[in-house]
Amino acid sequence: MADKQVFIFDTTLRDGEQVPGCKLNTGQKVEIARQLERLGVDIIEAGFPVSSPGDFQSVEAICQAVSAPTVCGLSRAVEKDIEVAARALRKARRPRIHTGIGTSDSHIMYKLRSTREKILERAVAAVAYAKRFVEDVEFYAEDAGRTSNEYLARVLEAVIKAGATVLNIPDTTGYCLPDEYGAKIRYLRENVKGIDKAILSTHCHNDLGLATANSIAGVQNGARQIECTINGIGERAGNTSLEEVVMIMRQHSDLGLFNNINTRLIYPTSRLVSERMGMPVQPNKAIVGANAFAHSSGIHQDGVIKRRDTYEIIDPLEVGVDHSKIVLTARSGRAAIAYRAKNIGHNLTKNELDVVYAHFLEVADRKKEVEDADLKQIISQAVDKAVGENLPGLQRVSTTGKT
Ligand code: KIV
Ligand code: ZN
């Protein structure tokens, strides 16, 4: 069973916080880190300590605030960065230094202005240096998505020898297709000597909307850690969404993979991160968007009212959302009106429903969404009109418990 566990590495407070305008103070970061601990993440990437005194302080504070998860600090393959990360992590019960360097030809030639051989040496030196401070050292091969598999395998083999415990394979630019990314992970598993001594990790960006698919392709091919953020926040189009990969593993038990996340805390955690960062969640966002469990077309509403799983694959309670929503719009049918009327205390007969429905459609064509207060008014107007016209069956619009 152990090799079927996928470790959840949350980088909301590092990669996620790189989003413009989403800066958090230390108190807010500690609050989120505590929530991530309750959620059950295995590793919290708390920050990039050398980047600013504030980030250093936040990493230190998080180390003292949480006890179960590993706390990780990012560094470049630079001795000063590694020393500062090690200092920030001193009080962590389980410290991890995450160090690495760009390995794609594009990064080597244009960003680092170096050669493959020199980069390989720097990678090894960085891991060996980090090992002086902590046992748990994760190596990232930046832009691994666009790095040749053969060269990547050479780098990884060398950093494993230097003591790397986790090998991060970032698709930094969100370029890969799922098959390609999955094949890369498989290639590394099959061709890197000593690979069994380390855990392979996915770290996928969402530039083409494929971050989740790529992460899942990664674990299907042998990766055992997923790096992700709450609400998928992160640089540019963001990172892999924690809530998506966790729920995919849960819904597809056929994958045979499990993780430690308490899924009932997903929605409250999503709200907390969104509020503290001032970063709204798009309404159609999978799992945590406002419309993720809302039904507005008549056909769907009829199905969900009869049996929830006709149009919902996840019970909202499982992710901490109270209930599914039946939203009243001009596309809604009689079943939805009867359902929502009952919820506000009106058990409509068939005749009553016909009259109320006709009034409802007039209102719904004018308004985007019909709320409970509107529906109450529609029902009472329909009744008044019916009583005035003395229509059969309409004198008695009944309120539950009353006539
Ligand atoms: O996307 C990336 O390559 C990263 C690394 C620094 C891990 O965030
Ligand atoms: Zn990243």
Nearest CA to ligand 1 atom 6: 142
Ligand 1 pocket: which of 166, 172, 239 to mutate (most atoms within 8 A of CB): 172
Non-local (6+) Cβ contacts of 316 within 8 A are 292, 293, 322, 323, 324
pLDDT one-digit tens code per residue, 169-184: 999 999 999 999 999 9
Q: Does residue 107 line the site of ligand 1, with CB under 6 A? A: no
Ligand 2 centre to CA of 236 (Å) is: 10
Ligand 2 centre to CA of 269 (Å) is: 21
pLDDT one-digit tens code per residue, 297-353: 999 999 999 999 999 999 999 999 999 999 999 999 999 999 999 999 999 999 999
- Is the pLDDT at 400 greater than 50? The verdict is no
Nearest CA to ligand 1 atom 1: 172
Ligand 2 centre to CA of 201 (Å) is: 12
Q: Does residue 170 line the site of ligand 1, with CB under 6 A? A: yes
Q: Give the pLDDT of residue 382.
A: 86
- Is the pLDDT at 389 greater than 90? The verdict is no
Write the single-letter amino acid at 130. A
Q: Give the pLDDT of residue 390.
A: 65
Q: Does residue 172 line the site of ligand 1, with CB under 6 A? A: yes
**CA separation, residue 53 to residues 14, 28, 78, 198, 235 (Å):** 14, 16, 18, 32, 21
Q: Is the dihedral of CA 41, 42, 47, 53 positive or negative?
A: positive
Nearest CA to ligand 1 atom 2: 172
Q: Give the pLDDT of residue 308.
A: 95
For the residues 284-296, what does the mean pLDDT come to? 97
Using CB atoms within 10 Å of the CB of residue 209, give its burial: 0 to 12 exposed, 13 to 18 middle, 19+ buried.
Answer: exposed
CA 349 – CA 398 distance, rounded (Å): 8
Q: Give the pLDDT of residue 402.
A: 32
Q: Does residue 145 line the site of ligand 1, with CB under 6 A? A: no
Q: In percent, how much of the chain has pLDDT > 90?
A: 92
Q: Which of 27, 64, 21 is nearest to 44 (CA)?
A: 64
pLDDT one-digit tens code per residue, 45-60: 999 999 999 999 999 9
- Is the pLDDT at 206 greater than 80? The verdict is yes
First to last CA, the chain: 60
Using CB atoms within 10 Å of the CB of residue 265, give its burial: 0 to 12 exposed, 13 to 18 middle, 19+ buried.
Answer: middle
Domains and CATH numbers, the chain: 2-277 (3.20.20.70), 294-388 (no CATH)
CB atoms under 10 Å from CB of 272, counted, come to: 19
Residue 175 tokens read as 């370029």
Rounded to 5 degrees, φ, ψ at 217 are -60, -35
Write the single-letter amino acid at 226. I
Ligand 2 centre to CA of 304 (Å) is: 39
Ligand 2 centre to CA of 128 (Å) is: 23
- Is the pLDDT at 396 greater than 80? The verdict is no
Nearest CA to ligand 1 atom 8: 15
pLDDT one-digit tens code per residue, 89-109: 999 999 999 999 999 999 999
Q: Which of 230, 269, 263 is nearest to 246 (CA)?
A: 263
Q: Does residue 15 line the site of ligand 1, with CB under 6 A? A: yes
- Is the pLDDT at 371 greater than 90? The verdict is yes
Ligand 1 pocket: which of 48, 112, 140 to mutate (most atoms within 8 A of CB): 140
Using CB atoms within 10 Å of the CB of residue 33, give its burial: 0 to 12 exposed, 13 to 18 middle, 19+ buried.
Answer: buried
Q: Does residue 45 line the site of ligand 1, with CB under 6 A? A: no
Q: Does residue 175 line the site of ligand 1, with CB under 6 A? A: no
